[in-house]
Chain A
Amino acid sequence: MQRNYNHTTIVTIEKVIDETPTVRTLVFSDDVMPSVLPGQFAMVWIPGINELPMSVMISDESGKAAFTVRKHGVASTGLFNVKVGQQIGIRGPYGNSFDLKEGKLLLVGGGTGLVPMMRLLTHVKHTDDVTVLIGAKSKNEVFFEELANRLLTNNTHKVIVSTDDGSYGEKGFVTDLVEKHLNQTKYDAVYVCGPEIMMYKTVQSAHSRGVFVQASLERMMKCGVGICGSCCMGEDLVCKDGTVFDGEHLSQNKEFGNYHRNKAGILENY
């Protein structure tokens, strides 16, 4: 019987990979999650603690998928602390996915926003010329650089890291690198996922030059299925209409890059 994506499935964590001191990847076996589309997410239940939306990470092994989580709040710290052998619940996949163009592609990721970018790399064509920009605050927060290079072995590609403090790679904000690359090269598409301000600037840079750009957005989510309304951004519901939105659409949305809603639904500035 085909699985109803709204029903919670219990999976067991088989491997935990420390990516940085604050970021871990938890690997599990499942029938559905290994083949979700880039940009799609799952609602992840940590029994007794919380449930949160997570982009689904790829795994090297077939039949497996993962979640890459940075410890931050109650829910993400709860997931970060899950040990091998522990069970978590998953439902989904939910949401839409990136519209994959061909040619010269620019992928921009910050922190765990790199997760959908890594999955996107498994969908690029061998003829695509791919540039990946990874933004981090400092050297010890850089991860997935080697993975990105490995996934692009058969492509013409570049993986460039920037750190805000210059402790690794190029010094400065990744959005400055985006500007530089967009000035030098005519890209066929730009894809971005990371902190909202990073996405906002990347979308602006690309859209103002008429370059196709998409961003995978994050908002507070409770239901994940278009009922509770927590993730609304202007008239868009990130869980149902997104998480992936076109730059053209985002440029019309007055909340993107400016506000998000807290648990009570009150608008707060970024």
Chain B
Amino acid sequence: MEPDLTTSIGPIQLNKPVMLASGILGISLDVFNRLYRSGAGAVVTKSLSTEPWEGYPNPTIFSVKGGGWINAVGLSNPGAENFAKMIEPNKDVPIIVSLVGSIPEDFEKMIQQFENCKVAAYELNLSCPHVAKVGLEVGDDPELVKKIVSTVKNSTNVPVIAKVGLGTTHYLNTVGTAIESGIDAITAINTVRAMAIDVETQRPILSNKFGGLSGTPIKPIALRCVYEISSKYDIPIIGCGGISTWEDAVEFFLAGASAIQLGSAIGDNWIDVFDEINTGILQYMEKKNYSKIKEMVGLAKKL
């Protein structure tokens, strides 16, 4: 049988396994359409909040000499209501709406605002490492995770994903809590809290001082996390963190991910990277005689 790139992440069906990660390029429907045409199986929006956020002043991003990026954009976004209006005309693109908030009611309110939109899934950002009172601060609080996930699951029939990262509560415990509360899938991992100091001017470079490290340096860490989650729990996983080649993508499938997300690789290789990775995966499947992505998911755990 000819291989194809379709994949399912629990209840979420995609034609291609490579998605745009949250926080990247995600503020216009026109750009989403362009990414979809360029080979993205889905696009995850910027994390949306109940009100518009300007984010931090520049510098908001720093290119690390050893590779990778540190960013503290500060979750700038037009707010859920404005964003929902913007994507209302969408027909074709599988859009996964990323949400941040401090209390369950924030999420409930935002989901109502997307009532008239075609949403493939919601991704709860429980792991942004550089904004107070949301993201990791929420993800690190098991009681809050429980309340948010169950509230969201009760407010929508659309599949719900939790995005976890490396905080003070072990991410495996956060995943466990999310699963008990009814989550449909997990995205792992977010950026890793980091910083950069300029030796000439002797000050932190990012305006927020701390940011999140992304790109190739965190790939082995993200891969380990996906492997650990899939070893401990029976939950669909989306791998995210430093993926920039088809080999990286396949590694994540073998570790237990059913799909992957890209972010920093777009800054390095631009939008063509979706097609390059899809093509590489397909050639690998032909060589190894796989017809579906799911045939290789988690294979590395069996050896």
Instruction: Give the interface centre of B26, B27, B34, B58 by most chain A CB atoms within 10 Å.
Output: B58
Stretch at the interface among A153-161, A163-171, A261-269: A261-269
**Chain B residues positioned under 8 Å from A225 (CB to CB):** 61, 63, 267
CB neighbours (8 Å) of B264 from chain A are: 227
Contact B60 A222 (CB under 8 A): yes
Q: Does the CB pair A50–B207 fall under 8 Å? A: yes
Q: Which of A1-56 contact B (CB under 8 A)?
A: 4, 6-8, 10, 43, 45, 47-48, 50-52
Is B198 a contact of A47 with CB atoms below 8 Å?
yes
Interface string of B69-88 (1 = CB under 8 A from A): 10101001111001000000
Task: Give chain B residues whose Cβ lies under 8 Å from the Cβ of A8.
Answer: 62-63, 198, 205
A119 within 8 A of B: no
| Interchain CB contact under 8 A, B203 and A229 | no
Known: A8-B62, A229-B25. 19 other contacts (CB 8 A): A8-B205, A45-B59, A45-B205, A48-B203, A75-B58, A89-B201, A222-B55, A226-B267, A227-B24, A227-B25, A227-B71, A228-B24, A229-B46, A232-B27, A234-B30, A235-B33, A237-B25, A264-B78, A265-B76
- Of all chain A residues, which has the CB nearest B49? A264
Q: How far is the CB of A253 from chain B (nearest CB, A)?
A: 9
A74 part of interface (Cβ distance < 8 Å): yes
CA distance A93 to B60 in the complex (A): 18
Kindly state whether residue A87 has any CB partner on chain B within 8 Å.
Answer: yes
**B173 CB, nearest partner CB in chain A, Å:** 31
Taking a contact as CB atoms under 8 Å apart, the answer to whether B267 and A10 are in contact is: no
Q: Give every chain B residue within 8 A of A235 (Cβ-Cβ).
A: 28, 30-31, 33-34
A sample of 27 cross-chain residue pairs with beta-carbon separation below 8 angstroms, ordered by A number, consists of A4-B65, A7-B63, A8-B63, A47-B203, A50-B57, A50-B58, A75-B57, A89-B198, A222-B61, A222-B73, A223-B60, A223-B73, A225-B267, A226-B267, A226-B271, A227-B69, A227-B264, A227-B266, A227-B267, A229-B25, A229-B26, A229-B46, A237-B31, A240-B270, A265-B52, A265-B77, A266-B78
Chain A interface, >50% SS class: loop
Q: For the complex, what is the distance from the CA of A234 to the CA of B34, rounded to whole Å?
A: 10
- Per-residue interface assignment for chain A, residues 69 to 109, with 1 indicating a CB less than 8 Å from any chain B CB and 0 otherwise: 00000110000000000010101000000000000000000
Which of these, A6, A48, A91, A232, contacts B31 with CB under 8 Å?
A: A232
Tell me, in angstroms, the Cα distance from A8 to B270 when the chains sit together: 20
* A162 at the B interface (CB under 8 A): no
Size range of the chain B interface in the assembly: 35 or more
**A230 at interface (Cβ–Cβ under 8 A)?**
yes
Q: With a 10 A CB-CB cut-off, give which of A10, A237, A263 has the most chain B CB atoms.
A: A263
Cβ of B300 to closest chain A Cβ, rounded Å: 30
Taking CB atoms, residues of chain B closer than 8 Å to A47 are: 198, 201, 203
Tell me which residues from 110 to 160 in chain B have a Cβ below 8 Å from any Cβ of chain A.
Answer: none
Mask, A203-233, CB within 8 Å of B = 1, is: 0000000000000000000111111111010
In the complex, what's the smallest C-beta–C-beta distance from B278 to chain A, in angstroms?
Answer: 19
Chain B residues with CB under 8 Å of A10's CB are 198, 200-201
Collect the chain B residues with CB atoms within 8 Å of residue A224's CB.
Answer: 61
Q: Does B263 sit within 8 A of A, measured CB to CB?
A: yes
